Amino acid sequence: MTTYTITLTEAEDKALSFVSVSQNDWIQNAVKKRCHIAIEEIVALTVQKCLETNTQIPGSKDAMVLLAFQQGWINKAADKQIENVTVNTANI
């Protein structure tokens, strides 16, 4: 399990308290929701790739995410950004 720490300025903390009862709960919910969306996208892609390559479809969503990364079917956003920069500078 990975732990992240976020630092807010006093103004940011006050602003978030204006729209949420608990800043921590709001932050946790926002991140969990984004992770859920990404997992669903990766699961759909993994099922498609498994069918195309006659690979056994893993039995859990977590296993599907890990398989997609292991097989190189998906990359981290940072890796994609580096690839885009490399491609763009090569075209200059």
Domain chopping of the chain, boundaries? 10-90
**pLDDT tens, 37-84?**
999 999 999 999 999 999 999 999 999 999 999 999 999 988 876 766
Full-model pTM? 0.80
Q: Render the chain in DSSP notation, one character per residue.
A: ---------HHHHHHHHHH-S-HHHHHHHHHHHHHHHHHHHHHHHHHHHHHHHTPPPPSSHHHHHHHHHHTTSS--HHHHHHHHHHHHHHT-
Percent above pLDDT 90 for the chain = 83
